[in-house]
Amino acid sequence: MLTTAPHSVRRPLRPAVLAFVAALLPLLVATVLGAPPASAAARSQAVPTAQLTEVTDFGSNPSNLRMYVYVPDGVTANPAVVVAVHYCTGSGPAMYSGTEFASLADRHGYIVVYPSVTRSSKCFDVSSPQALRRGGGSDPVGIKSMVDWVVRTYQADTSRIFATGISSGAMMTNVLLGDYPDVFAAGAAFAGVPFGCFATTDGSEWNSACANGTVTRTPQAWGDLVRGAHPGHSGPRPRMQLWHGTEDDTLRYPNFGEEIKQWTNVLGVSQTPAVTDTPQPGWTRTRYGGTGDRAPVEAISLRGVGHNLYTTGMAARALTFFGLDGGGGPTPQPQPGPCKVTVTTNAWNTGLTATVTITNTGTTAVDGWRLGFTLPAGQTVTGGWGATYTPSSGAVTAVNASYNARLAPGTSIGIGYQANHTGNAAPPTAFTLNGTACSTG
């Protein structure tokens, strides 16, 4: 059933009612002051449950997308959010009726957002320069506004926001995870292409070279495209699940391998699978950087299957990857990654030097690394060794030199920097290696 969100009707109050309200006003004020503002906002903006509802005026929406939302009867407190993005020629309502994300929400208590394109092609913008950078405009900004609306209205759990999509929606899933790595915890892309593969500068929505599978790049180059979408981000990166049919003649199968190259690089894990299995006949599943259901990258190849690969049961597998199939409860907190960083400083009146040791505590080599950390206020890097440091203050990223790009399992490398300070000479307290949190000590 498709409805629009209800609107309140205002009527003038009678004098007797006004007097009654005046008498109650002190009590009402005391009650309201004790309640959090977000709860009141949620009550006034919440949509009917167990039916698809269109929401308007949800926030910044530069490309005039439409927003549909499904809230189950049993929505949990601080629910997770799944953004389900449709294919070309599709719509939000079509994605709602053609997939099981809503029926699974009835079971697990999360909220589903269905963005819907209004441009004539009914394809999402995954190619313009505006779409391929954080806050640049176009469809990703509108979808981010939809997520923000759900978070405000239902106090959704910002650590459990996920994206999934089919075809054009799969490409948008790649784009969303690149543009907003601090928003999405994971994605599941059904028959897509890597972030940035469809990029054009002539206003065209279609990139034939990418669609035909002839665009190839190194893992580092693919990863740099993702990192360039939000260059200031140094925190964890979302995990990615990838699906592709070997006989896809719309977005050809080589794109699957390029996606694997991209996301293993972004997440700092080996391109060699940690485990390979066959969950059902004709499927080959490879997991990278881990062997469990929530490995950093999971890729499922479907032998003999074309572009229209989505079938019943796949949504449930995406939820397993997201960690949402356990009744909607919170997922385990991320554990320190397969790296350890120690840092010591030697300070004087207005300056300091910091010696940093990076250790690969995992079982696979890291080929090309980026160490992220935040300098204490008042510190500015003036020079360094073993890496290139940018920017000079705030959230800093140290990028490997050519001679120390490879970090084998169980080995360490030393880097360091000089910095000015205004009184606080303390070292950074947290580090990430290619987006994965490291232990410290």
Clarify whether 120 is annotated catalytic. Answer: no
Neighbours of 11 (CB within 10 A): 5
Strand 297-302 relative to strand 239-245: parallel, antiparallel, unpaired? parallel
CB 257 within 8 A of CB 161: no
Estimate to the nearest angstrom the gap between the alpha carbon of 399 and the chain centroid.
Answer: 23
- Give Cβ neighbours of residue 100 (< 8 Å, ≥ 6 apart): 312, 315, 316
**Amino acid (one-letter) located at 28:** L
Question: Which of 63, 127, 128, 167 is the catalytic position?
Answer: 167
Q: Per the structure block, which two tokens stand in for 256?
A: 């699957």
C-alpha distances out from residue 437 to 30, 160, 220, 236, Å: 45, 18, 20, 7
Distance separating alpha carbons of residues 190 and 84, to the nearest angstrom? 11
Closest C-alpha among 418, 427, 428, 423 to residue 350: 423
CA Rg, the chain, in Å? 24
Distance separating alpha carbons of residues 420 and 393, to the nearest angstrom? 10
Strand 275-277 relative to strand 339-347: parallel, antiparallel, unpaired? unpaired
Distance separating alpha carbons of residues 368 and 261, to the nearest angstrom? 13
**DSSP three-state, residue 41:** helix
Residues belonging to the chain = 441
**Amino acid (one-letter) located at 286:** T
Distance separating alpha carbons of residues 399 and 402, to the nearest angstrom? 10
Distance separating alpha carbons of residues 363 and 417, to the nearest angstrom? 28
CB 102 within 8 A of CB 50: no
**Amino acid (one-letter) located at 11:** R
DSSP-based helix, strand, coil % in the chain, nearest 5: 25, 25, 50
Closest C-alpha among 47, 112, 114 to residue 81: 112
Sign of CA dihedral 142, 256, 251, 228: positive
SS (H, E, C) 358-402: EEECCCCCEECCEEEEECCCCCEEEEEECEEEECCCCEEEEEECH
The residues assigned a catalytic role are 167
